[in-house]
Amino acid sequence: MSPPDDFRRQIDQQRAYLLRFARLQLRDRDAAEDAVQETLLAALGAEASYAGRSELRTWLTGILKHKIVDAIRRAGREPQVSLDDADEGAALEELFDHSGHWGAPVAAWRDPDASLEQAQFFEVLEACLAGLPAKTARAFMMREHLGLETEEICKELGITPTNCWVMLYRARMALRLCLEARWFGAQETPRR
């Protein structure tokens, strides 16, 4: 097997990991698939620059992080297209058999209360994030959700490292106060 084929095989072995990572970040199967494909193409095009300087998975994840940021930017610029009513009706009909019952049985929840509580927590977290200034929220999400380094955040947002650290500190403190008031403090009273 020639070295380029070996490199392609090694990259292909990382595809499942990259797809899981992208799905967690983008929460959209199609966008995640696109980001991974762009990552693999970029990696194949930059094979000479890799030269084994780091673990292959680390190198590919770094490329993927940039592709994810690009996808998030694109999604922010492009209008969201929703399915029309006919498409939605057809999609719903596929879920049921000819007698009106579920085509495939619904998977049993392991702990519906915990699932509901986790979903409610993320709703509160999103509301708290929405209360932050836009640039501060972006810096926080880039650091904590995408795992970008300070240098990458500064470059993207056009700020200094000191400003970035201040923004991250303020975001964490504001989120802490918001979550204490809207989630942790509210847990003492029964939820409905």
Rounded to an integer, what distance in angstroms lies between the CA atom of residue 69 and that of residue 183? 29
Q: Which residue has the higher pLDDT, 79 or 154?
A: 154
22 CB-contact burial (10 Å; exposed 0-12 / middle 13-18 / buried 19+): buried
| Cα dihedral 67→69→71→75 (10° resolution) | -170
Please, are residues 168 and 140 in contact by the beta-carbon 8 Å criterion?
A: yes
Domains of the chain: 3-77 (1.10.1740), 112-186 (1.10.10.10)
DSSP 131: T
pLDDT in tens, 63-104: 999 999 888 888 777 665 555 545 555 656 676 677 766 666
**Residue 190: its pLDDT value, please?**
47
Rounded to an integer, what distance in angstroms lies between the CA atom of residue 127 and that of residue 186? 15
